[in-house]
């Protein structure tokens, strides 16, 4: 009888114990892979948001938590749109751009997307010059220069993804995120019906890897009409100048808008990083649990197996099998158990991450092949380590002693 | 070089203080609107078709007076508080300023509301309008009498503000008149910039004599010492100084400065690390 046949038969000797040991490994690896996968994409999203956002201050409703940043404009809480005018008309230095947003869910082609209302800069920019002669004493640089129609190149609407603001946008125009466009096969110039209103697709936005890919952007006032709650917004993204932020711009905005929560993106990033760290720690805790529970389960299963099958082991050795052969049978069995558990855990964990990631962390999650190696290595290593001592015990059995016992 | 834009030359009146603009203006008879928070209009048909706002603006401009427009939505304590400050304060400045009241929900006032885009602004709101139509100050939510005086600005400031609010570039040329011509002249580089078809429709040239007492405050705001000779100041909307050019300035310098101010982060600290935009 060949080694692999012996291993195969050995595996199915105690099915119920095999199943529970396998389940422990499988579930443990599933949870770890899932957490690692979501954490990775969440951290990546934070970095990408920081890199591409440009905005560095957010004005949110008081009740919104920092952890809700990724759904900051989908939390259902509102602040009055007049906050935009208050900011634009204020004498605060260092406000480079303002981007108010209002979001609502819409269904397109049977799929759910987000319709986000944005306010073109041309509709509030002029108010920044309503503070009289004081504006001339502001230092040159960030936050003082806008665009001049005619003198500047015509604004590219696709710059929205980078600058967070758009110069002009008609009430029947929409800008479509990359995922929405590819999912619905949209092209520029096509018409689109959203919540019963017809829009013209002005531009398809480039892929950003952020939640913006699943959004359709329209004029804020049009979205407000569809939303039906009057002149409200969910958040204002503010691009503030570094120097002024360090001089307390956030506190000044807080004083101007005491009814709102004003936070920096850095605070949000820190909050998100804390969540990621928590998830990472959870992953470590699960790893310890799987080592303890899964390892002891496998060791117990193997010890019991060796004890119950000592007659067969003794017979095998009496027939000429050496210790290394016996050791190899049990270790190969453990390796197989660990490898299958690792692969199964990776597959289940990845499916969980891809399905639950967007709901839990608000970020799109993709499979990570590297985690498969990691999962198999952990799982197989654990199974081998837990089985080593029972296998060694089996390999050291004295055939005469085992026959005498029986 | 002859100045083709002499219409923009600032002949500042003898206006010395922050309310300089007010002191130099002649008074016209008061004729205030009826639709005030405490005294709503009882006969809408009696109002001008264009609404009180536009009518009052035209009247104030004709009389060379400032106009304080009181925008309000509903009568409440905040509206009353601002109203109670504005009415007597402007009354004391009647020689230089007028006021009108605009209820933003009044259909007749729609042209005024749309013109300033204040339908979603915080209410009550007081806007101070210079005779040339420039908004020289906005007071959202609350108002103190002492703040009103800051709304009066010099003629040079008015011109610059008006151009910026019309989303135009401003080239402010500060320099004394040439001895033989006795009038302010446009520097050649500025003239070439203004003559460029790309910039001509969106550029306003303002000539300013630094000897005018009324403009001292404005020059101080701009941190320009009139003793150092001619200076050209490039401003861009919504309201910022892009650059100052002492002495002569060429068109290329102006174009380059304008491009630099937009093409990249001015202080080089913008971008990925969360501070300022990537332009």
A145-185 pLDDT tens trace? 666 655 566 566 666 655 566 777 888 899 998 888 888 88
Give the mean pLDDT of A376-405: 82
Give the mean pLDDT of A26-53: 77
**Is it the case that residue B14 has pLDDT exceeding 60?**
no
Task: Report the pLDDT value the prediction gives residue A25, as an integer from 0 to 100.
Answer: 84
**Is it the case that residue A119 has pLDDT exceeding 70?**
yes
Query: Is there a domain that residue A191 lies in?
Result: yes
CA distance A53 to A96: 13
> How many contacts does A have with B, using Cβ atoms within 8 A?
174
Query: In this structure, are A246 and A330 located in the same domain?
Result: no
Task: Report the pLDDT value the prediction gives residue B37, as an integer from 0 to 100.
Answer: 46
Query: In this structure, are A124 and A252 located in the same domain?
Result: yes
Query: Is there a domain that residue A121 lies in?
Result: yes
Task: Report the pLDDT value the prediction gives residue B5, as an integer from 0 to 100.
Answer: 32
For residues A286 and B85, which has the higher predicted lDDT (pLDDT)?
Answer: B85
CA distance A386 to A388: 6
Pick the CATH number of B20-151 from 3.30.390.30, 3.40.30.10, 3.30.465.10, 3.30.830.10: 3.40.30.10
Query: In this structure, are A13 and A72 located in the same domain?
Result: no
Give the mean pLDDT of A326-336: 85
Tell me if B202 sits within 8 A of B169, measured CB to CB: yes
Preferred mutation among B133, B239, B261, B267 to probe A, highest tally of A CBs within 10 A: B239
Instruction: Choose one of A232, A258, A284: the last residue of a domain.
Output: A258
| Inter-chain CB proximity A129 and B274 less than 8 Å | no
Tell me if B218 sits within 8 A of B153, measured CB to CB: yes
Token pair 């092949």: residue: A369
Task: Report the pLDDT value the prediction gives residue A48, as an integer from 0 to 100.
Answer: 63
Token pair 């085992």: residue: A402
Query: Is there a domain that residue A263 lies in?
Result: no
Task: Report the pLDDT value the prediction gives residue A80, as an integer from 0 to 100.
Answer: 92
| Inter-chain CB proximity A144 and B236 less than 8 Å | yes
With beta carbons under 8 A apart, name residues in chain A contacting B123: 82
pLDDT digits (tens, 9 = 90+) for A83-101: 988 888 887 877 777 888 8
Query: In this structure, are A284 and A189 located in the same domain?
Result: no
CA distance A373 to B177: 81
Band of pLDDT at residue A218, cut at 50, 70 and 90 = very high
Q: What tokens appear for A275 in the block?
A: 């969540």
What proportions of chain B, in percent to the nearest 5, are helix, strand and coil?
35, 20, 45
CA distance B167 to B39: 37
- The domain made up of B154-263 is a member of CATH 3.40.30.10: yes
Nearest to B239 among A123, A135, A163 (CB): A135
Query: In this structure, are A245 and A99 located in the same domain?
Result: yes
- Going by the DSSP 8-state scheme, the letter that residue A290 receives in this structure is I
Instruction: Tell which residue, B27, B34, B37, has the closest CA to residue B59.
Output: B27
**Is it the case that residue B30 has pLDDT exceeding 60?**
no
**Is it the case that residue B24 has pLDDT exceeding 80?**
no
**Is it the case that residue A401 has pLDDT exceeding 80?**
no
Residue of A nearest to B193 (CA): A151
Tell me if B211 sits within 8 A of B24, measured CB to CB: no
Q: What tokens appear for A160 in the block?
A: 């929205």
Task: Report the pLDDT value the prediction gives residue B68, as an integer from 0 to 100.
Answer: 92
With beta carbons under 8 A apart, name residues in chain A contacting B117: 123-124, 126-127
Query: Is there a domain that residue A340 lies in?
Result: yes
For strand A197-204 and strand A173-176, is the pairing parallel, antiparallel, or unpaired?
parallel
Task: Report the pLDDT value the prediction gives residue A192, as an integer from 0 to 100.
Answer: 86
Query: In this structure, are A140 and A94 located in the same domain?
Result: yes
Query: What is the ipTM for the molecules in this complex?
Result: 0.70
With beta carbons under 8 A apart, name residues in chain B contacting A147: 237, 262
Query: In this structure, are A254 and A277 located in the same domain?
Result: no
Burial zone of B22 (CB within 10 Å; 0-12 exposed, 13-18 middle, 19+ buried): buried
Burial zone of B257 (CB within 10 Å; 0-12 exposed, 13-18 middle, 19+ buried): middle
With beta carbons under 8 A apart, name residues in chain B contacting A163: 277-279
Helix (H) or strand (E) holding B191: helix B188-195
Residues 6+ apart with CB under 8 A from B150: A132, A133, B18, B137
pLDDT digits (tens, 9 = 90+) for B137-153: 888 888 888 888 888 98
Give the mean pLDDT of A314-326: 81
Query: In this structure, are A298 and A392 located in the same domain?
Result: yes
CA distance A175 to A225: 18
Instruction: Tell which residue, B75, B165, B83, B128, has the closest CA to residue A88.
Output: B165
Nearest to B261 among A124, A145, A265 (CB): A145
Band of pLDDT at residue A42, cut at 50, 70 and 90 = confident
Task: Report the pLDDT value the prediction gives residue B13, as an integer from 0 to 100.
Answer: 31
CA distance A33 to A20: 20
Residue of A nearest to B203 (CA): A151
Instruction: Tell which residue, A108, A318, A265, A284, has the closest CA to residue A192.
Output: A108
| Inter-chain CB proximity B150 and A149 less than 8 Å | no
For residues B275 and A310, which has the higher predicted lDDT (pLDDT)?
Answer: A310
What sign does the dihedral B155-B156-B162-B163 (CA atoms) show? positive
Query: Is there a domain that residue A266 lies in?
Result: no
Q: Which of A7-11, A158-162, A176-180, A330-334 comes out lowest in average pLDDT? A: A158-162
| Inter-chain CB proximity B242 and A150 less than 8 Å | no
For residues B95 and B31, which has the higher predicted lDDT (pLDDT)?
Answer: B95
Residues 6+ apart with CB under 8 A from B14: B23, B24, B213, B214
Query: In this structure, are A112 and A248 located in the same domain?
Result: yes
Give me the number of domains chain A comprises: 2
pLDDT digits (tens, 9 = 90+) for B79-96: 999 999 988 888 888 888
Query: In this structure, are A247 and A306 located in the same domain?
Result: no
Query: Is there a domain that residue A107 lies in?
Result: yes
For strand B97-103 and strand B66-72, is the pairing parallel, antiparallel, or unpaired?
parallel
Query: In this structure, are A283 and A191 located in the same domain?
Result: no
**Is it the case that residue B36 has pLDDT exceeding 80?**
no
Query: Where does chain B hold its CATH 3.40.30.10 domain(s)?
Result: 20-151, 154-263
Burial letters for A94-103: b for 16+ Cβ neighbours within 10 Å, e otherwise? bbbbbbbbbb
**Is it the case that residue A22 has pLDDT exceeding 70?**
yes
**Spacing of C-alpha B185 from chain mean position:** 23
CA distance B136 to chain A (A): 4
Residue of B nearest to A93 (CA): B240
Residue A218 pairs in a beta bridge with: A117, A174
| Inter-chain CB proximity A89 and B140 less than 8 Å | yes
CA distance A134 to chain B (A): 7
For residues A70 and A259, which has the higher predicted lDDT (pLDDT)?
Answer: A259
Question: Residue A248: which domain range?
Answer: 63-258
Task: Report the pLDDT value the prediction gives residue A90, as an integer from 0 to 100.
Answer: 83
Q: Which of A67-71, A335-339, B70-74 comes out lowest in average pLDDT? A: A67-71
With beta carbons under 8 A apart, name residues in chain B contacting A84: 120
Task: Output the CA angle A122-A76-A96, nearest 5 degrees.
Answer: 30
Q: A247 to each of A94, A244, A250, A261, how far by Cα in Å?
A: 10, 5, 9, 19
Q: Which of A22-31, B30-39, B191-200 comes out lowest in average pLDDT? A: B30-39
Query: In this structure, are A325 and A190 located in the same domain?
Result: no
Token pair 């307390």: residue: A248
Rounded percentage of chain A residues whose pLDDT exceeds 90: 9
Query: Is there a domain that residue A387 lies in?
Result: yes
């Amino acid at each position: 009888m060949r080694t692999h046949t012996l291993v195969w038969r050995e595996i199915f000797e105690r099915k119920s114990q095999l199943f529970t040991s396998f389940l422990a490994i499988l579930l443990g690896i599933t949870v770890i892979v899932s957490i690692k996968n979501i954490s990775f994409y969440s951290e990546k999203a934070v970095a990408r948001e920081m890199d591409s956002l440009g905005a560095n201050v957010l004005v949110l409703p008081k009740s919104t938590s920092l952890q809700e940043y990724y759904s900051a404009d989908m939390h259902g809480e509102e602040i009055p749109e007049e906050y935009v005018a208050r900011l634009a008309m204020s004498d605060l230095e260092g406000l480079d751009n303002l981007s108010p947003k209002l979001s609502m869910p819409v269904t397109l082609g049977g799929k759910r997307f987000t319709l986000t209302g944005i306010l073109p800069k041309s509709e509030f920019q002029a108010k920044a010059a309503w503070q009289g002669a004081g504006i001339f004493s502001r230092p040159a640089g960030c936050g003082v220069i806008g665009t001049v129609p005619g003198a500047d190149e015509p604004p590219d609407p696709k710059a929205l993804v980078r600058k967070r603001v758009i110069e002009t946008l008609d009430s029947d125009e929409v800008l479509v995120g990359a995922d929405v466009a590819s999912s619905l096969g949209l092209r520029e110039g096509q018409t689109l019906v959203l919540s019963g209103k017809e829009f013209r697709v002005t531009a398809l936005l480039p892929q950003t890897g952020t939640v913006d890919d699943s959004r359709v952007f329209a004029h804020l006032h049009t979205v407000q009409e569809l939303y039906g709650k009057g002149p409200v917004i969910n958040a204002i993204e503010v691009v503030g100048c570094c120097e002024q932020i360090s001089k307390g711009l956030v506190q000044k905005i807080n004083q101007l808008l005491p009814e709102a929560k004003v936070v920096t993106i850095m605070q949000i990033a820190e909050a998100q990083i804390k969540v990621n760290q928590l998830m990472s720690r959870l992953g470590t805790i699960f790893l310890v649990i799987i080592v303890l529970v899964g390892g002891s389960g496998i060791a117990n299963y193997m010890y019991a197996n060796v004890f119950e099958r000592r007659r067969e082991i003794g017979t095998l050795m009496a027939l000429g099998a050496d210790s290394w052969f016996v050791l190899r049978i049990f270790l190969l069995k453990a390796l197989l158990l660990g490898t299958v558990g690792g692969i199964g855990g990776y597959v289940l964990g990845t499916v969980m991450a891809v399905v639950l990631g967007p709901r839990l962390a608000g970020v799109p999650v993709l499979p990570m092949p590297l985690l498969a190696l990691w999962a198999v290595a952990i799982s197989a290593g654990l199974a081998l380590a837990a089985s080593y001592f029972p296998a060694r015990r089996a390999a050291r059995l004295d055939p005469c002693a085992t026959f005498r016992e029986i | 070089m002859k100045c083709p834009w002499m219409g923009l030359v600032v002949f500042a009146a003898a206006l010395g203080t922050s309310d300089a603009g007010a002191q130099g203006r002649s008074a016209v008879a008061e004729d205030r609107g009826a639709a005030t928070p405490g005294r709503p209009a009882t006969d809408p048909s009696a109002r001008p078709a264009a609404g009180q706002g536009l009518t009052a603006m035209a009247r104030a401009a004709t009389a060379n007076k400032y106009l304080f427009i009181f925008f309000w939505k509903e009568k409440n304590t905040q509206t009353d508080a601002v109203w109670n400050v504005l009415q007597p304060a402007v009354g004391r400045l009647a020689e230089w300023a007028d006021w009108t009241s605009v209820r933003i929900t009044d259909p007749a006032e729609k042209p005024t509301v749309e013109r300033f885009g204040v339908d979603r602004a915080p209410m009550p709101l007081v806007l101070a309008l210079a005779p040339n139509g420039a908004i020289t100050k906005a007071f959202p939510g609350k108002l103190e009498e002492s703040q009103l005086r800051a709304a009066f600005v010099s003629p040079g400031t008015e011109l610059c503000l008006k151009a910026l609010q019309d989303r135009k570039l401003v080239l402010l040329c500060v320099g004394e008149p040439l001895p033989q011509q006795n009038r302010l002249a446009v520097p050649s580089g500025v003239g070439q910039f203004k003559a460029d078809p790309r910039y001509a429709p969106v550029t306003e040239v303002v000539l300013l004599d630094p000897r005018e007492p009324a403009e001292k405050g404005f020059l101080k705001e701009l941190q320009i010492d009139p003793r150092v000779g001619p200076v050209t100041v490039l401003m861009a909307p919504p309201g910022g100084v892009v650059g100052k050019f002492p002495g002569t300035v060429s068109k290329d310098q102006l174009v380059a400065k304008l491009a630099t101010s937009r093409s990249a982060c001015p202080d080089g600290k913008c971008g990925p690390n969360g501070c300022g935009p990537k332009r």
